[in-house]
């Protein structure tokens, strides 16, 4: 995460059997493997990816960039969500999210985040780049004992 005077971003991935019933699968402040059940014709899996943006210092912080979810169905390509958001100092963290259906093809995928944060008075924008592995598993393979 980092100190409060610097730009910060965190993320969370939730998945479930229908929109609104998603449960947390993994998040940036926990060292857990991201495993999401694949969608099937009879049981689609919905997923919500949220990136939380934090204010930095005494000036407005502007975040620009995108995040991509390779495991979200989007015509065979990674689902991309653009980020262009400003947050004022003292405000609670805000989030940009994207929801969709998990691919029906089990395999190894990625959640990628590429953001720039600009803060007045800082010479260079702060850059965030992360690649988080996400496993899409056959539905029976995601059960826990």
58-87 pLDDT tens trace? 789 999 999 999 999 766 678 899 999 999
85-94: average pLDDT = 90
Give the pLDDT score at 145.
42
Q: Cα angle at 30 between 24 and 35, to 5 degrees?
A: 50
Is-contact 47 71, C-beta < 8 A? yes
Helices vs. strands in the chain: H and E counts, helices first: 0, 9
Sort 7 into a burial class: Cβ within 10 Å, 0-12 / 13-18 / 19+.
buried
Give the pLDDT score at 1.
55
Residue closest to 34 by CA, chosen among 88, 86, 70: 70
Give the pLDDT score at 119.
85
Give the pLDDT score at 144.
47
Q: Which two tokens stand for residue 35?
A: 């495993």
Q: Give the tens place of pLDDT for each residue, 33-53.
A: 899 999 988 889 999 999 999
Domain ranges of the chain: 8-142
Q: Where are the alpha helices (DSSP H) in the chain?
A: none
Residue closest to 47 by CA, chosen among 37, 55, 61: 37
Q: What is the pTM of this model?
A: 0.86
CB atoms within 10 A of CB 139: 16
8-142: CATH architecture: Sandwich (2.60)
CB atoms within 10 A of CB 26: 20
């Amino acid at each position: 995460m980092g100190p409060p005077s610097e730009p910060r971003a965190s993320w969370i991935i939730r998945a479930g059997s229908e929109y609104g019933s998603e449960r947390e699968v993994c998040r940036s402040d926990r060292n857990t493997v991201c495993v999401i059940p694949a969608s099937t014709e009879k049981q689609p899996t919905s997923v919500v990816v949220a990136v939380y943006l934090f204010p930095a210092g005494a000036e407005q912080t502007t975040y620009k960039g995108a995040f991509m979810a390779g495991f979200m169905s989007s015509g065979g390509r990674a689902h991309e969500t653009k980020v262009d958001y400003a947050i004022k100092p003292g405000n609670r963290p805000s989030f940009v999210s994207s929801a969709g259906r998990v691919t029906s093809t089990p395999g190894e995928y990625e959640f990628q985040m590429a953001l720039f944060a600009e803060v007045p008075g800082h010479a260079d924008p702060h850059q965030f780049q992360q690649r988080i592995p996400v496993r899409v598993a056959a539905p029976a393979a995601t059960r826990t004992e």
